[in-house]
Amino acid sequence: MRLPSLFLSTLFVAVATGATALAHPPAGDHQAAARYIANEGVLVADGDVKILFDPLFQTSFDIYRTPSDEQRTAMLGGEAPYDGVAAVFISHAHGDHFSADDVNAYLAAQKEVRLVAPRAAVDMLQAARGWREDFTKRILPLDLDYEDAAVTLDIGETIEVDAVFIPHAGWPRTRDVQNIVYRVTTGDHVTVIHMGDADDNDAHFAPYDAVWRARRTDMAFPPFWFFRSPETRAILSDRLNIERSVGVHVPVAPPARLSSLRDEGAVDFFTEPGAVRMITPAKGGE
């Protein structure tokens, strides 16, 4: 693991919160939900705490959805439901997950938001249009490599993060891609996992078994290829200790087998921007 000396394995930084509801869920003492943006872009709101995963990008490869102009304008403007975002997490620096120009514009517009990103993405930000040196005090760069220990980050008093390097799909051909899996707990209430383009080989996850067992995850957002077999689905439910998974990175035209699995009730995944899934907190660590 290689972290700049400015950032220790535990970090304490201020966060911003917002009060606009993500959706209109059933009445209850505490409400949490995930709203789909596009590809692997997801907004998670736990009460007043909001976080974004892979929200701003421009590349579709003529396969995947990209954020619409309306979504991009709302995010940059801090308009509902993207108001009051505390932190943005970038899984890796590929164009269908991350636009350096757009993220720089977002940091300039939303002056309280923190950014957590792999070092490769931060390097791209610094070389891109709109970069400002004062962004550095709000950016937490992760310079993780294969088999490095998990890193824990505390963002203020409301967000706890465990970050792990898990190889990008296509390993070992993708050896140089810094793909980060984030497990984020908001307010010690709701825990979610965003996996980026993680490779679906259990051998990558097994060394971190103690990390996964330490906390039950309420909802995860795996790339859809984790649904391809009972064995890969077991990585989610058994190895990663996940209560419920909602797939992402689904092509505009979902594979027929994936759609069949959803029709059978075996899997769930996002396809339509703006779709919402309510998150029900699990009880206990396992």
Give the tens place of pLDDT for each residue, 233-268. Answer: 999 999 999 999 999 999 999 999 999 999 999 999
Q: What is the dihedral of CA 168, 230, 221, 54, to 10 degrees?
A: 20
Tokens of 149: 């220990």
The yes-or-no verdict on residue 1 having pLDDT over 70 is: no
Q: Among residues 146, 147, 42, which one has the least CA distance to residue 90?
A: 42
pLDDT for res 23? 38
Angstrom distance (rounded) from CA 238 to CA 210: 13
Angstrom distance (rounded) from CA 271 to CA 24: 20
pLDDT for res 128? 98
Tokens of 272: 């339509």
pLDDT for res 156? 87
Q: Tell me the whole-structure pTM to 2 decimals.
A: 0.90
| Ramachandran bin of 64, using left for φ above 0, alpha for ψ from -120 to 50, beta for the remaining angles | beta
- Per CATH, the number for 32-278 is 3.60.15.10
Q: Provide CB contacts within 8 A for 209, sequence distance 6+.
A: 239
Tokens of 159: 């967000």
Q: Are strands 85-89 and 114-118 parallel, antiparallel or unpaired?
A: parallel
pLDDT for res 30? 64
Domain boundaries along the sequence of the chain? 32-278
The yes-or-no verdict on residue 2 having pLDDT over 70 is: no
Tokens of 215: 């906390």
